[in-house]
Structure 1
């Protein structure tokens, strides 16, 4: 069966010039997003995620390379690309002085969905995103999560073939984040292709069919969330009662994980990364107890974004020398 791609780019490059010199935001980025899938573009601030979205949404012209979005050439047919996509940026673009209903009706007119059809579409989206009860209140009084849901609803006035979501849950509380996640899953189930940029590995794991890790404007890794987690591994950490127990604890972790443990003599902790899916927290505690290690605490946590970047790029994700 032949795979068709809603987003396909080759060698995308983008530079920004400033007083400090030239910043190379995209360095030959290749990306392939299959029709009807959710692709998670993962990386910290400055990795190039937002620049990718702005280029693919025709908000920026690439300096080199090529791309097709929804079957249309990015440079030669930008109007066709814009007609086929929806975009939700990092910050809500709705008008706080208008009500939620007025905002969606305004977006409907801008998308040339006028009259009764526009009003009906606005009402349908308010119901779909759980905003009907607040629909006639000014958006300035809404919570951040409600504003983000309204912003997402506005991008769906005309159902897009491809939806770009640029860090849609940054700064939201867990309940609001879950609401956005449900909306994204529903869109994908209806056949919309979603390109989601995020700083959260958990978010990509929950939503994405494919994860693309971006580092300094290039693709550092691409695969399923399960493949990324298996590559990075979980992190086992134990807290012992005194310094003399650090070496015995390290011996247990070395044997169980097959990786060199890291000792912190000030905090009395020992940690190690493991890619063994059979290693569980109860087993870790039993092995430490059998070795006579006086244990105060133990944890086995899933990989973080920093873990992924350290394993895939050789450094952590805490970098401030790049643009978004």
Structure 2
């Protein structure tokens, strides 16, 4: 009887909910290998509910590790692309044509058939959809309307869908930033000599609206930088042709009333020329991150700086093996201008492309 009971116990499979709980705690690269283990595991891992649960677990793990600098920094990319943006676990790389989306957790990527060179990357958390917003036509006259194209992936769709709409004329001057289902970028309207605004794209409903902004927020790219600060849109403004020893932090306090606040901070030491330094945003501790835009041409340490706005102090973290390793440079053919893109709060995702 004891042997029969033992055999019955050993034959009982692991409950499905327990299998799912175990799988959510494994690295994404391991999950991609486990797709081949069985049809059951493949079905679990590819299920959208599991994908969302895995993302949530990854986000909680990142939140619990805010005191580890290498996790606070997130993903770092070296390329000739002008910008790489992490949105909900997927990276959109902008380098004129084409627009490339990749998932570093699964080593998968896809090229989007965007019809224009200026593309913004966004995510709708309600509909669970990724969208790429591309300006298709540029105004020939100051009052010409603009044509935008939206490519959508997700929400049960297995391929990209395309939609177009028009907007009032404006001239974009900064990179975009996606925050809680809205994509923001700075612009002049209707031309580069007129009113400064923040263009707000509602990712879910695919609508554009304008938010009045201070002149300092809407400067040429390289002078002011849009970031997410405490779940709000903010701008880091500094002089591009002077030593980076101070900056203004503009925060959009109210989207409805277009109310902005401003704080000025003095850095404990210079970070070099302002045009050579950018800010990818903040970490979970609320520290503002500063970093060089490019790697040095020769072998030198690459530092990331964390500024604490409460204590008004700054620390630096040396990223070993990136710019200071000749073998690394040779292996990845790093020569000439090499841009650095940092995603401060990137988390793992197993979303399919």
What TM-score results when the alignment is normalised by the length of structure 1?
0.30
- The structure richer in strand per residue is 2
- The structure richer in helix per residue is 1
- Which fold has the larger relative contact order, with Cα–Cα distance below 8 Å and residues 6 or more apart in sequence? 1
What TM-score results when the alignment is normalised by the length of structure 2?
0.28
